[in-house]
A and B are shown apart, each in its own frame.
Chain A
């Protein structure tokens, strides 16, 4: 519509923002402040407004919406975890995902593809069987399948993986899906915005005012705001925020890298994960192979990329798919993962009254976006931990009650 474009070029009026408003300035006071406008923070804002009627809420983001790990993950959604607490939690998330696009009136490109976790050793076959049985017991659709089922779903795979890591079986999880990650943040952001929540981008939190063990307000790059409730949903920046309130946590930061190939014709339907080969791969709606591997091996607060990562991951991809030797890598990137000792998140109340954590999401946070938003909104609104997140509280460490998800949370550990 060239005329419309011309009209806006000549006028000082601009069309309405398509997704969100840009509030001119911060108010002096809010009922709740959410730090971080990624999927998790915006989902919490959305459910606070929709389910709990709290709309005097500000979401503060030092960069731009969805620019952190929400836009850096490999978009896999699944609930085939290992502990009953984990399975119940992630399964609720998978349920919420399925009607999210309708909720938002926005296409999330949510595609149920089926998810294979490949087992190359007897030990991993045993773990897959364990996970399948825990999943089935809790009503989650998972089963142990043989190599022929993998070959049938993905005829291009070399079942011997170059001869040195033959596939002996796999954990098959039919509900495994992928979605367009940016749209998730946009959808929650728009939904929250329409209900009155303010999203302030390029607004950095520089301090949190705690008096007598209670949150009083937040110092930002755009001035002080007073609030009795602060939710931290900042992924790899969590230690910097907990440092502001004087809280010690087990969280440590390692980068996690990922990469994509140039777009290809659709050939890979399922999502494939191999712990032994440190690979997870799916084909996106626009044809790119989206690939990730294990964490970088040491603490680093940066999102730099390395050649070591591309070489290692490409070599393992070729073990599975030798015909990809001519494929080109289009992009690589990294995110900062906030890791925990038991590979489970740290969520809910803290010893500081009014300060809530949605953290420790390491390499497994995207799939949990809806259920995190919902349970954290409940926790912030009522001051009490939602039932589904009781076992993820920060206090579990001093009680030595860890929630061991290491075997199911990510690859290569």
Chain B
């Protein structure tokens, strides 16, 4: 991956972006056990596969989602949180 498409600013060099990690559901901090919370804080899905991730376009301050295969480094789709995914066209 050398280029990444920001849903707002279009296709830009990957050096303009910051990786924000996999999108993960947060358990209710008031209701979950300490072990469940530790699992959320520390544990990750470390195996290769297609993952939905947070990415940040640092030049414009835009956080968005990307669907990426972390074994081949191929981005499948990018979209703004809360909006419908857009097929990746690069």
Which one of B19, B47, B51 contacts A240 once the chains associate, using CB atoms below 8 Å? B47
> Given A297-B18, A397-B38: A304 and B73 within 8 A (CB)?
yes
Query: At the interface, is chain B mostly helix, strand, loop or mixed?
Result: mixed
| B70: A residues at CB distance < 8 A | 253, 299-301
Asked if B90 lies at the interface with its beta carbon under 8 angstroms from chain A, I say no
Docked CA distance A253–B71 (Å):
10
Smallest CB separation, A248 vs chain B (Å):
4
Asked if A298 lies at the interface with its beta carbon under 8 angstroms from chain B, I say yes
Smallest CB separation, B4 vs chain A (Å):
10
| B73: A residues at CB distance < 8 A | 300, 302, 304
Asked if residues B72 and A238 are in contact (CB atoms below 8 Å), the reply is no
| B18: A residues at CB distance < 8 A | 297
Interface residues on chain B, number (Cβ under 8 Å): 21
Asked if A249 lies at the interface with its beta carbon under 8 angstroms from chain B, I say yes
Docked CA distance A298–B56 (Å):
12
Number of A-B contacts (CB under 8 A): 54
Docked CA distance A302–B15 (Å):
19
Asked if residues A299 and B19 are in contact (CB atoms below 8 Å), the reply is yes
Smallest CB separation, B39 vs chain A (Å):
7
Docked CA distance A397–B22 (Å):
19
Asked if residues B19 and A248 are in contact (CB atoms below 8 Å), the reply is no
| B31: A residues at CB distance < 8 A | none
Asked if A398 lies at the interface with its beta carbon under 8 angstroms from chain B, I say yes
Smallest CB separation, B87 vs chain A (Å):
22
Asked if residues A302 and B72 are in contact (CB atoms below 8 Å), the reply is yes
Asked if residues A301 and B71 are in contact (CB atoms below 8 Å), the reply is yes
Asked if residues B42 and A397 are in contact (CB atoms below 8 Å), the reply is yes
Asked if residues B46 and A253 are in contact (CB atoms below 8 Å), the reply is yes
Docked CA distance A239–B71 (Å):
13
Asked if B9 lies at the interface with its beta carbon under 8 angstroms from chain A, I say no
Query: Interface centre among A249, A298, A300, by most B CB within 10 Å?
Result: A298
Asked if residues A398 and B47 are in contact (CB atoms below 8 Å), the reply is no
Query: At the interface, is chain A mostly helix, strand, loop or mixed?
Result: loop
CB nearest neighbor in B for A248:
B43
| A322: B residues at CB distance < 8 A | none
Asked if A251 lies at the interface with its beta carbon under 8 angstroms from chain B, I say yes
| A263: B residues at CB distance < 8 A | none
> Given A299-B70, A302-B71, A397-B38: A249 and B43 within 8 A (CB)?
yes
Docked CA distance A239–B22 (Å):
15
Docked CA distance A315–B87 (Å):
37
Asked if residues B47 and A243 are in contact (CB atoms below 8 Å), the reply is yes
Asked if residues A250 and B47 are in contact (CB atoms below 8 Å), the reply is no
Smallest CB separation, A239 vs chain B (Å):
3
| A240: B residues at CB distance < 8 A | 47-48
Query: Interface centre among A243, A253, A297, A300, by most B CB within 10 Å?
Result: A300
Smallest CB separation, A295 vs chain B (Å):
11
Asked if residues A298 and B71 are in contact (CB atoms below 8 Å), the reply is no
Asked if A308 lies at the interface with its beta carbon under 8 angstroms from chain B, I say yes
| A114: B residues at CB distance < 8 A | none
Docked CA distance A243–B46 (Å):
9
| A242: B residues at CB distance < 8 A | 46
Asked if A252 lies at the interface with its beta carbon under 8 angstroms from chain B, I say yes
> Given A297-B19, A299-B19: A250 and B43 within 8 A (CB)?
yes
CB nearest neighbor in A for B55:
A298
What mask results when residues 34 to 60 of chain B are scored 1 for a CB within 8 Å of chain A, else 0?
Answer: 110011001111111001010000000
Docked CA distance A296–B53 (Å):
16
Asked if A3 lies at the interface with its beta carbon under 8 angstroms from chain B, I say no
Docked CA distance A242–B45 (Å):
10
Smallest CB separation, A89 vs chain B (Å):
21
Asked if A67 lies at the interface with its beta carbon under 8 angstroms from chain B, I say no
Docked CA distance A253–B72 (Å):
13
> Given A297-B19, A302-B73, A398-B34: A248 and B39 within 8 A (CB)?
yes
Docked CA distance A297–B1 (Å):
12
Query: Interface centre among B45, B46, B53, B70, by most A CB within 10 Å?
Result: B46
Docked CA distance A398–B40 (Å):
10
> Given A301-B70, A302-B73, A308-B15: A251 and B44 within 8 A (CB)?
yes
| B48: A residues at CB distance < 8 A | 240, 253, 301
**Nearest 10 pairs of A and B residues by beta carbon:** A239-B46, A298-B19, A301-B48, A250-B42, A397-B42, A398-B38, A248-B43, A301-B71, A239-B47, A252-B44
Query: Which residues of A approach B to under 8 Å, CB–CB?
Result: 238-240, 242-243, 248-253, 297-302, 304, 308, 338, 341, 397-400
Show 6 A/B contacts (Cβ-Cβ < 8 Å), sorted by A. Answer: A240-B48, A250-B44, A253-B70, A299-B19, A299-B22, A397-B38
